[in-house]
Each structure stands twice: as C-alpha cells, then as structure tokens.
Amino acid sequence: MILVLRALGVGDLVTAVPALRALRAAYPARELALAAPAWLAPLVDLVGGVDRLVDTTGLDRPLRIGSPPRVAVNLHGRGPQSHRLLTATRPARLIAFANLDAGWADGPAWDGDEHEVDRWCRLLSWYDIPADRADLSLRRPGSAGLPGLPSGVTLLHPGSKIPAKRWPAERFAALARALTDQGHRVLLTGSADERALAARVADAAGLTPDAVLAGRTDLGALAALVADARLVVSGDTGVAHLATGYGTPSVVLFGPVPPAHWGPPPDRPRHRVLWAGEADWPSWDGVGSHPTMAALRLDEVLAAVAEVLRVVRVSGAVAA
C-alpha cells in the first residue's frame, strides 16, 4: 500500500492532484490510500487513481490502515506532527520534507515561498518521482444523482473559512446586480455556515431566494455546477481550484495570501487573478475583510470578468 496524508480541504486536495497522479503512475500495482476527511469523498472520486479513502480529520489520532504501508507520503505539511503520524504506521519508506524535530533528515528543505502545487511536485522529484504540475484537470461528475442542476450560470462565492479572505459582501452584491443586468444568471454558492452571508448578498442584489445555493449542495453537486458554469467569481478558496480543474472561466480575488502561493497557473488566460498585496498597507485590526481585499474595486472585477469572457469567445471562434 502507498499511504498519502493530505487531511485538509477542497483547495488543498485539488492542488495535490499532480502529486497524487505521479504517485499513481510510480506505483501502478499498489493500493493507493489517501488519508483525508471523509466528506471529500465525492471530489476524491473525481481526482481518480485513489483506491481507498482513510477518514482523517486531523493529526491527533492514529491512522487506521491495517498493515504497515510500503511507502508513506507526507503531502500534508512540513512536520513534525504530520511526519510522526506517518512514521507511527511503520512504513518501509517515508517520503517527506526534511524536519530534524521529527528526526527526519532526508528529503528536500521546506520553502515557504513557493506555489502549493510546485511544493509537492518538488518533493516527489527529490525522490525521483516525476510529477507534471500542469496535470490539474478533474473528471467531470456523472449526471446520476444530480438531476436538475443548472448549467451555463455564473457562480459567485462570497464566503471563505478565513474571514480576512472575503471580499466585502456589499461589493459581491453590486457585482451580482451588474452581471444580472448584463444577462448573467447569477447563483450564490457556499457552505451551510455561509448560507446567511450568501442570502444577505442575494437580498442586497435583488436576487430571489432560489438563487442562494449555499448550504444546499454537497461537494459532488458543487463540482458539477462549477464544471458546467459560465463563470466563477470567488476569493482564494476551494471553488476557485475547482474552476481551474475544469477550465471554467474564473476571476479570483486574492488577499492577504499572494496568488504566487495558491493562484491558478499564470499561463491560462481564462483564469484571472486580482491582487492588491504589493502596497504598504496600514496595520489591520483583524475585523472584516483584510485591506488587500477591501482595496479591490468593483470596476476592476467587472473588467476582469469581461476579459476572461472575451478570451473564451475568441478561443471558441478559433476552435470553430
């Protein structure tokens, strides 16, 4: 068995896709087990190549996998806690970044200033496992069990687990109004915890309650919505990575974390990033949106939307 630890969220899983596929190719005859939260199962199925999901919601409980793995791979972090969790499974081989606190001197040094996709590809390359950082595509969800989902809609995702990463709700509402006036069918996505936020945006935008899908879709349905959407606008959160995985036109609003760490590949023009983090911002009181998010103007977002849709029109005309 090849055991891979990535006990995190949607964006974390999607940015690990090239590494997971590289491991599948390197060990085609071995069972590939992924230690990650069980609620990610629908998305794990869309990654492909994973044989078993080991429900893991943190690093404080032993991994229940049965016999020791042939190889354990730490795609979770730099250690030491994640290293120790894997070494406790008694693997024949460990693939991980060097961490002397965990008693692990092998592996490359951790670089805190690199893109998340590149980080795990570099780790595997150190151990002579080639990985293609561009291999980010996801399988399209099947239609079974997902009846009635709309296609060709514009999805706005105003929430984030980290409040600092949220673009102000009133600007999302203004964006929704502007896009509706341009002929977009706007729907609002989010988790159950973000339903109130999405409802507030919808109300301010003059949208009907049925435009609020936050808390009403599971992960599989959300992936299907993104896969068939006209456009996605969000902050730096999981739905942005789904848009990258499906090649769905997107505008991603970044702050305070720079897009160089988590953004879509810069060579894909149907994904646009807005980022105001280079300025010397005053101190932040920790309440509401971070100044780097508040600095992003509505007209900038609308211009980015127009640009990605122009790219889609032009590329479609060339393909035709």
Q: Quick one: pLDDT at residue 133?
A: 96
Contact 34, 20 (CB under 8 A): yes
Cα separations (Å) of 147 from 58, 220, 242, 248? Answer: 34, 12, 20, 21
Contact 188, 212 (CB under 8 A): yes
DSSP per-residue letters across 107-122: SPPP-TTS-HHHHHHH
Side chain identity, residue 61:
R
Mean pLDDT of all residues in 14-25: 98
The residue with tokens 């561009």 is 134
Task: Kindly state the percentage of the chain with pLDDT values over 90.
Answer: 85
Mean pLDDT of all residues in 29-33: 97
Q: Which pLDDT band holds residue 279 (cuts at 50, 70, 90)?
A: low
Q: Which pLDDT band holds residue 148 (cuts at 50, 70, 90)?
A: confident
Q: Quick one: pLDDT at residue 317?
A: 53
pLDDT digits (tens, 9 = 90+) for 214-259: 999 999 999 999 999 999 999 999 999 999 999 999 999 999 889 9
**Token pair listed for 69:** 């793995």
The arrangement of strands across the sheet holding 154-157 comes to 186-188, 154-157, 231-235, 250-254, 271-275
Indicate the range of 133-137, 143-147, 223-227, 240-244 predicted with least confidence: 143-147
The contacts of residue 38 (CB under 8 Å, 6+ apart) are 53, 55, 57
pLDDT digits (tens, 9 = 90+) for 52-89: 999 999 899 999 999 999 999 999 999 999 999 999 99
**Token pair listed for 3:** 């055991």
Q: Looking at the predicted structure, is the pLDDT value of residue 284 above 90?
A: no
Rg (CA), the chain: 20
Q: Quick one: pLDDT at residue 3?
A: 98
Q: Which pLDDT band holds residue 143 (cuts at 50, 70, 90)?
A: low
Q: Looking at the predicted structure, is the pLDDT value of residue 144 above 70?
A: no
Mean pLDDT of all residues in 172-187: 98
Contact 298, 175 (CB under 8 A): yes
Cα separations (Å) of 84 from 73, 78, 104, 124? Answer: 12, 11, 10, 19
